């Protein structure tokens, strides 16, 4: 049986990176997450500049760091990976403002919020779909988040690794007026052989009494950090992200 990745009903929302941290889950509106997840996107086709409030980082690209326009050009497009189509996310960007119950888990929650620590100066979002599974309830859908880091790119993955060790037994998050979200386990997975360094992990949460597995891959190529994630809020199966996506994206960032 083919591993189920992320259900298409979730994918129709366009965004679900803040899934459990923002209590995102199946709703009567086709999987659309709460308003806190659906922040307005800029008119640049799914790209945005990180808000200054999230970091002291200068939002102008420093030498060696890509601008939002350059990130959009470097992002995967349809045909870069066989049988995969790429789409700009429309209707919102997956950013959130949740906080971790344990300070040590903050780097993991920063990724969930869509702004890895240190925060990127510019971010571009893409949705990657397996075209051989069009129309299937368990179509492979992976969300890609590309972030430019004028400084601190080499700090992102080490901070995540430290957090994975410290938060293996889980943690909770709280953001705004939302109820606390519960994550019961964090475990490292084999990382894709891509970029300058890479890490992969599974985050298990609970939403509406159901287990919700989320899988992340975070890959650094120079000053660009790319996050891939997949969620299954319906079946509870562990998602799988094809490594070909990270390999192809790293190659484009090197070119």
Please check whether residue 37 lies inside any domain of the structure. Answer: yes
40 burial type by CB count under 10 A (0-12 exposed, 13-18 middle, 19+ buried): exposed
- List phi, psi (to 5°) of 104: -65, -20
Please check whether residue 3 lies inside any domain of the structure. Answer: no
Counting the structural domains of the chain, the total is 1
Please check whether residue 150 lies inside any domain of the structure. Answer: yes
pLDDT digits (tens, 9 = 90+) for 109-138: 999 888 888 989 999 999 999 999 888 878
C-beta of residue 204 within 8 angstroms of C-beta of residue 183 = yes
Q: Going residue by residue through the chain (255 aa), what tens digit of pLDDT does each one get? A: 344 444 433 332 223 444 444 434 323 223 332 222 222 223 233 343 333 333 333 334 445 799 999 999 999 999 999 999 999 976 545 566 788 888 999 999 999 888 888 989 999 999 999 999 888 878 888 999 999 999 999 999 999 999 999 999 999 988 765 667 889 999 999 999 999 999 999 999 887 788 888 999 999 999 999 999 998 766 667 888 999 999 999 999 998
170 burial type by CB count under 10 A (0-12 exposed, 13-18 middle, 19+ buried): middle
Q: What pLDDT is stored for residue 194 in this prediction?
A: 97
Q: Which domain holds residue 24?
A: 8-254
Through-space distance between the first and last CA atoms of the chain, rounded to whole angstroms: 37
């Amino acid at each position: 049986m083919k591993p189920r990745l992320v259900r298409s009903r979730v994918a129709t929302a366009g965004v679900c990176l803040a899934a459990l941290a923002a209590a995102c889950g199946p709703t009567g509106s086709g999987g659309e997450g709460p308003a806190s997840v659906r922040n307005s996107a800029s008119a640049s086709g799914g790209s945005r500049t990180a808000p200054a409030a999230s970091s002291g980082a200068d939002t102008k690209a420093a030498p060696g760091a890509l601008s939002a326009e350059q990130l959009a050009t470097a992002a995967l497009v349809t045909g870069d990976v066989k049988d995969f189509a790429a789409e700009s996310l429309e209707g919102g960007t997956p950013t959130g403002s949740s906080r971790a119950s344990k300070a040590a888990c903050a780097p993991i929650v920063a990724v969930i919020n869509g702004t890895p620590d240190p925060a990127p100066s510019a971010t571009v979002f893409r949705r990657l779909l397996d075209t051989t599974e069009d129309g299937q309830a368990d179509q492979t859908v992976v969300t890609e988040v590309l972030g430019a880091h004028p400084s601190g790119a080499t700090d992102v993955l080490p901070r995540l690794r430290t957090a994975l060790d410290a938060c293996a037994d889980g943690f909770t998050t709280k953001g705004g007026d939302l109820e606390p979200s519960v994550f019961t386990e964090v475990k490292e997975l084999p990382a894709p052989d891509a970029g300058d360094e890479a890490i992969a992990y599974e985050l298990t949460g609970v939403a509406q009494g159901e287990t919700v597995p989320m899988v992340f891959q975070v890959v650094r190529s120079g000053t660009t950090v790319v996050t891939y994630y997949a969620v299954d809020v319906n079946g509870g199966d562990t998602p799988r992200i094809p490594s070909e996506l990270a390999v192809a994206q790293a190659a484009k960032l090197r070119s």
